[in-house]
Structure 1
Amino acid sequence: MQEKEFISRWFTFKAYGHKNVRATHKTTIEITKDDYLTTRGDCIIGIKSEVSLNDFPKWLKEDIKKGNMILVVFCSKKNCDSLIGYGDSNLILNNETKIIFRKSNYIEPATALIKSNKAAADLDRNLIEELKNGGELIVMITTINFKIW
């Protein structure tokens, strides 16, 4: 078997937790540029995001639209969790406030990926506790293209 080197590009940004982070939604995870959070926002894990979906770099949007597998890593000071989802050629990727990761196939301008293996309710509760205390959230995103193999 020939050894292959895999080089990936990562897009990284920062958001912040809030006392009202509940992370109990069973189908989505959301990060927003908004600077507030009510208890109704049970899918939101980060506010005051440095970026929205519209701000994703061109290379990442192109890879997402190719239907590639997407790896998203969420880290606080002491805890990390991750999810795997998929892009789709029908994704719009231009919301100016939000980024939404979905378990379903539902597509609208804020949808960053579909068919996620996790929603807010599935995330590590130690990570969520840090975010409830206003902790910093680092989000790292890359795509995986199996066609290179």
Structure 2
Amino acid sequence: MTTEDYLTPRGDCIIGIRADKGAAGLSEEIKRHIRLGDRLRLEIIVGELSFAFDAWGSPSLELSDARSAVIRRSSFASPRTIAVRSTAVARDIPRDIVSELRTGRRGVLAIYVL
């Protein structure tokens, strides 16, 4: 996700634009759990539709990027990374959710600590 209001052709793994925060804007409580390496449940909610998957935090995550938040299948860490070892990637998100987001419908990413 990005706070930017546009996508480039290379942005094929970005599921949301105009986000209200990047990695740095997460609550301090969530950041603490992420840095402890806790297991997370992430849920993308668009209207009545939702898709949930799991990922993990890591002590190596900086959570410092103000513009973007990235969930990765790998363990790669960057200032934008908010979770690693994800059980899903962008292409796994149901097409009906992606279609709704493409029309400009507002989506929410909920993060729960397991």
Summarize deviations over 1:60-95 as a string: whole Å, max 9, x none.
111111110011110111311012000111111110
- Amino acid in structure 2 at the alignment position of 1:42: D
**Which residue number corresponds to residue 99 of structure 1?**
69
**Which residue number corresponds to residue 60 of structure 2?**
90
User: SS of the residue aligned with 1:44?
Assistant: coil
Q: Which residue among 39, 51, 69 is the counterpart of 1:69? A: 39
**Which residue number corresponds to residue 113 of structure 2?**
143
Percent identity over paired residues: 27
| Superposition TM-score, scaled by structure 1 size | 0.74
Distance in 1, Cα, partners of 2:96 & 2:89: 15
Higher RCO by CA contacts (8 Å cutoff, separation 6 or greater): 1
What stretches of structure 2 of length at least 5 have no aligned partner? none
Pair 1:42 & 2:12 matched: yes
User: SS of the residue aligned with 2:15?
Assistant: strand
Distance in 2, Cα, partners of 1:105 & 1:119: 13
Summarize deviations over 1:26-66 as a string: whole Å, max 9, x none.
xxxxx000011123200111111111110111111111111
Higher strand share: 1
Q: Which residue among 6, 19, 23 is the counterpart of 1:53? A: 23
Aligned residues: 114
- Amino acid in structure 2 at the alignment position of 1:141: I
User: SS of the residue aligned with 2:107?
Assistant: strand
| Superposition TM-score, scaled by structure 2 size | 0.96
Deviation at 1:130, TM superposition (A): 0.6
Partners of 1:78 and 1:127 within 8 A in 2 = no
- Amino acid in structure 1 at the alignment position of 2:43: V
Structure ID, larger Rg: 1
- Amino acid in structure 1 at the alignment position of 2:11: G
* Runs ≥4 residues deviating over 4 A: none
